[in-house]
């Protein structure tokens, strides 16, 4: 007589690890970051997002692992039985502080969110540690740079990625002065969501930047304007044109906005929308990451096709 074992209902195998001196039993195969969050341990992340493949580039989620020569990224390292992990050692704090200082010295982090500003305070990071920022680049100057050819930065100043905002369409703007090269937009444009591959990281070292193929204008690129790059950007380097215009006019006020969840009306797929409304007008649309259809992603219609509502007769 044969017996069939159901793998669907089988309870996950638990492994025992030690975190900051305390024993914990967690499901085998989860990442260290998932285990830490389940334990209520706050771990900073910039390049990690639940609906994207971890790329390990920001390095602010690193932890100290007994037996490991280097600090390990918690967002992608899977737990193993017997691991001894330190999440707040002096070595971890020093590494996170330096990463935040390097970012803040070269990138405009002003719209990166309150949690990032709190991390700067918690880890004692000072954006001016490396000196005042160097002069901003002219429009298109960074796109024209070549790998290995670094501009001369005057002694006593910190090199920056500051440059003019690119406004070349009516849907979203690109302010690469705020770009931290987290790769999220590249992943969302690529195989994690849209499979358009309109953008990638170009250049090397400090000259690395997000670019279209051969740095052609976005309007001439493969971009389909789904806006999924905006949805995953952690610093507002990519921003709805509606939001940008309101910020420029000084009228953007998130504290007065309401968010209403509804279903996109354009097709029968059933994507969920979160409509952000201010002064009885829709100012942008997002999608919940935990929705089993969209996983936070949308097409051009769902992301931007709501302006007709604002143009309704009074």
Same domain (yes/no): 118, 218? no
Report residue 9's pLDDT band, with 50, 70 and 90 as the boundaries.
Answer: low
Which DSSP helix (H) or strand (E) runs through 244? Answer: helix 241-249
CATH number at residue 219: 3.30.70.20
Report residue 252's pLDDT band, with 50, 70 and 90 as the boundaries.
Answer: very high
Same domain (yes/no): 214, 119? no
Q: Residue 3: inside a domain, yes or no? A: no
**What region does 296 belong to: left with phi over 0, alpha with psi -120 to 50, or beta?**
left
Same domain (yes/no): 20, 119? yes
Same domain (yes/no): 290, 189? no
Sheet harboring 272-278: ordered strands across? 258-263, 272-278, 281-286
Q: Tell which of 132, 167, 192 closes a domain.
A: 132
Q: What pLDDT is recorded for position 229?
A: 95
Chain centroid, CA 201 distance in Å: 15
Q: What pLDDT is recorded for position 223?
A: 95
CATH number at residue 19: 3.10.20.740
Q: Tell which of 243, 270, 301 closes a domain.
A: 243
Domain that holds residue 269: 253-314
Same domain (yes/no): 177, 222? yes
pLDDT tens-place string over residues 112-135: 988 999 999 999 999 898 888 888
Q: 133 - beta bridge partners?
A: 158
CATH number at residue 300: 2.20.25.90
For residue 31, give the DSSP letter.
Answer: B
Same domain (yes/no): 82, 186? no
Tell me whether strands 272-278 and 281-286 are parallel, antiparallel or unpaired. Answer: antiparallel
Report residue 291's pLDDT band, with 50, 70 and 90 as the boundaries.
Answer: confident
Residue 201 and residue 210 in contact, taking contact as beta carbons nearer than 8 Å: yes
Q: Tell which of 74, 98, 132 closes a domain.
A: 132
pLDDT tens-place string over residues 87-111: 999 999 999 999 999 999 999 999 9
Mean pLDDT of all residues in 230-254: 96
Tell me whether strands 209-212 and 199-202 are parallel, antiparallel or unpaired. Answer: antiparallel
Same domain (yes/no): 52, 78? yes
- Rounded-to-integer distance, Cα 281 and Cα 231, Å: 20
Q: What pLDDT is recorded for position 29?
A: 87
The total of structural domains in the chain comes to: 3
Please compute, for residue 210, the number of CA atoms within 13 A of its CA located in the half-sphere on the CB side.
Answer: 24
Residue 141 and residue 189 in contact, taking contact as beta carbons nearer than 8 Å: no
Per-residue pLDDT for 255 more than 50?
A: yes
Residue 212 and residue 218 in contact, taking contact as beta carbons nearer than 8 Å: yes
Q: What pLDDT is recorded for position 56?
A: 87
Report residue 10's pLDDT band, with 50, 70 and 90 as the boundaries.
Answer: low
Q: Residue 7: inside a domain, yes or no? A: no
Range ranked top by mean pLDDT from 49-53, 136-140, 228-232: 228-232
Tell me whether strands 14-19 and 84-86 are parallel, antiparallel or unpaired. Answer: parallel
Same domain (yes/no): 224, 272? no
Same domain (yes/no): 236, 281? no
């Amino acid at each position: 007589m044969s017996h069939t074992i159901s793998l669907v209902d089988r309870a996950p195998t638990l492994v025992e690890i030690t975190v900051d001196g305390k024993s914990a039993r967690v499901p085998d195969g989860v990442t260290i970051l998932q285990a830490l969050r389940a334990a209520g341990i706050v771990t900073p992340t910039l390049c990690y997002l639940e609906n994207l493949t971890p790329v390990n580039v920001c390095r602010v989620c690193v932890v100290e692992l007994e037996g490991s020569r280097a600090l390990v990224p918690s967002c992608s390292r899977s737990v193993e039985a017997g691991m001894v992990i330190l999440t707040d050692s002096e070595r971890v704090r020093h590494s996170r502080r330096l990463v935040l200082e390097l970012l803040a010295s070269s990138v405009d982090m002003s719209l990166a969110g309150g949690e990032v500003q709190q991390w700067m305070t918690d880890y004692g990071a000072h954006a001016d540690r490396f000196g005042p920022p160097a002069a901003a680049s002219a429009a298109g100057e960074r796109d024209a740079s070549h790998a290995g050819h670094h501009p001369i930065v005057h002694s006593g100043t910190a090199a920056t990625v500051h440059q003019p905002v690119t406004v070349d369409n009516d849907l979203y703007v690109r302010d690469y002065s705020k770009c931290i090269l987290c790769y999220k937009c590249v992943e969302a444009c690529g195989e994690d969501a849209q499979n358009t591959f309109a953008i990638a990281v170009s250049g090397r070292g400090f000259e690395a930047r997000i670019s279209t193929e051969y740095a052609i204008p976005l309007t001439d690129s493969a971009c389909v304007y789904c806006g999924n790059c905006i949805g995953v950007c952690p610093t507002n380097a990519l921003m709805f044109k509606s939001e940008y215009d309101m910020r420029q006019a000084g009228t953007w006020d998130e504290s007065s906005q309401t968010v209403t969840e509804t279903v996109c009306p354009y097709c029968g797929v059933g994507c969920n929308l979160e409509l952000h409304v201010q002064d009885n007008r829709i100012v942008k649309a997002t999608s919940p990451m935990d929705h089993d259809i969209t996983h936070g992603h949308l097409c051009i219609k769902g992301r931007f096709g709501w302006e007709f509502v604002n143009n309704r007769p009074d």
